[in-house]
A and B are shown apart, each in its own frame.
Chain A
């Protein structure tokens, strides 16, 4: 493994993968506790349209997906506020629309289906240097923004009304969290693929929440699960010649299963009562 890491493509994959894993793990805790766990799933479907658009217009698919998913995330937020749509309805509408537009674009411009497949299932080992640069910069920006707003996000997530009364502009923070999630989903799609990236947001955070006695501990545990799963998943992919994205998600789930069994008597109970 050590010798393998001497290869440039592997170093790039590890660097990008680990940073994305941390961003997904941290945001996942906030999203689950806000009961927005499915937002990752919805935005990843919208990313499909973005990637297809990028390939159709011959621009960097990652950049096209970023633009489309951020725009969709903002629209979903506005719709939730203004159109009075219940719960996940807005994200349900836009995720289906995203898939439909993606499929239409794919069928209109025949010939890019192979590349589109790499986005659907993820191909972190084939990440290009330009994409690594973009990924590292954006993931670092996401993490820095969360760090700067960590306490406000925590207050809002725990007790929205008191946060408002304390002068926190919760509407702006909602929007910020949506945009950060949108960026992270687009970056994560290179690691886990459009079909599985939502798992990176939900499963490590759900695992961390099984054993944590404080918010900080939950964030740390979630991050550890995500980073170890991505690193080990890449290792397994190389060793066994299996898709990295699937290996990563299965490892995340194993961590969740282990933490769920260990939580008895120490952390917070399973919320499925």
Chain B
């Protein structure tokens, strides 16, 4: 099933083109990496899909509906870029952070009910953070916080999960276990995952398809074809996996 369809999507910021004529389909079960250099429009593309930015032209279809008509945002989990750049003094416990995502539906008190508490615990256990549920979020390491934010994105049982540069500032060892966890969610739970990253090293190991963006969609297809393609050779030649992502 096609979960997300983009038709001729363009986005301009102050007149300057950021995205140009993007046509793309994200299918159920995909583990898609959106890659590209800094300023290539990766984050903008995700924000346009999620309705955080309106496209200058083109159409976005979510679960078979035009984006303007789509309202069941529980089906979509989102971990924004710099999610872990939170106010370290914010007094929220881990379970409060995860429970936040339960409020977007029509039952505003569901986070505090029994069902809500069970969902929160289940989501935290899924990412291996069950025992930290009473901890203040600011006391956790970057990698642990990232898992909590994944749990928050998972608590509504979404069908698709968007992650924007999820491992920025996280050490290599934590990154490995983090991507293993995403692998498991994709293969065992059948969760569709869209990962924005500048690090094509990740692409090699985990994803099933790749979208390479540089304002335009330079490449979109299977991971195997991508590895054989000239785009990949160019990127490896430039050492793109070594570029630190600061924006």
Residues of A within 8 A of B (CB): 33, 148-152, 154-155, 158-159, 161-168, 209, 212-218, 267-269, 271
Contact = CB atoms under 8 A, between A and B. Distances in A.
Contact of A214 (B73, B93, B108): B93
Contacts of B138: 268
Contact of A167 (B89, B104, B109): B104
Given A158-B100, A159-B80, A165-B80, A149 B108 contact: yes
Interface in B69-122: 71, 73-74, 76, 78-80, 83, 86-93, 96-97, 99-104, 108-109, 111
A151 B87 contact: no
A162 to B, nearest CB: 6
B157 to A, nearest CB: 14
B172 interface: no
B52 interface: yes
Select the residue from A165, A213, A267 with max chain B CB neighbours within 10 A.
Answer: A165
A218 B136 CA distance: 12
A167 B73 contact: yes
Interface of B: 50-52, 71, 73-74, 76, 78-80, 83, 86-93, 96-97, 99-104, 108-109, 111, 134-136, 138, 152
Contacts of A159: 80, 83, 86, 100
A151 B103 contact: yes
Closest 8 CB pairs of A and B: A151-B103, A167-B73, A166-B104, A214-B93, A155-B100, A212-B91, A165-B78, A218-B91
29 contacts: A33-B90, A150-B108, A151-B99, A151-B103, A152-B103, A152-B104, A154-B92, A154-B96, A154-B103, A158-B100, A159-B86, A162-B100, A165-B50, A165-B80, A166-B73, A166-B74, A166-B103, A168-B103, A209-B89, A213-B93, A213-B134, A213-B136, A214-B91, A214-B93, A215-B91, A215-B96, A268-B89, A268-B138, A269-B89
A268 B76 CA distance: 32
A159 B52 CA distance: 14
Nearest to B164: A161
B91 A155 contact: no
A133 B109 CA distance: 29
B16 to A, nearest CB: 19
Contacts of A148: 108
A168 to B, nearest CB: 6
A34 to B, nearest CB: 10
Contacts of A209: 89, 91
A167 B100 CA distance: 12
A209 to B, nearest CB: 6
B136 A151 contact: no
B136 A163 contact: no
A158 B71 CA distance: 22
A201 to B, nearest CB: 17
B91 A268 contact: yes
Nearest to B49: A165
A162 B100 CA distance: 10
A32 B185 CA distance: 37
Contacts of A269: 89
B71 A167 contact: yes
Given A150-B108, A159-B100, A214-B136, 8 more contacts: A158-B92, A161-B52, A162-B80, A162-B101, A163-B104, A209-B89, A213-B93, A214-B96
A159 B78 CA distance: 12
B89 A271 contact: yes
B78 A214 contact: no
Given A164-B52, A165-B50, A216-B96, A158 B90 contact: yes
Contact of B73 (A152, A165, A212, A217): A165
A155 B90 CA distance: 12
Contacts of B93: 213-216
A167 B76 CA distance: 10
Contacts of B104: 152, 155, 163, 166-168
A263 B103 CA distance: 31
Contact of A165 (B76, B89, B135): B76
B100 A154 contact: yes
A151 B152 CA distance: 14
Contacts of A163: 100, 104
B159 to A, nearest CB: 15
Contacts of B51: 165
A149 B103 CA distance: 9
Contacts of A271: 89
Nearest to B72: A167
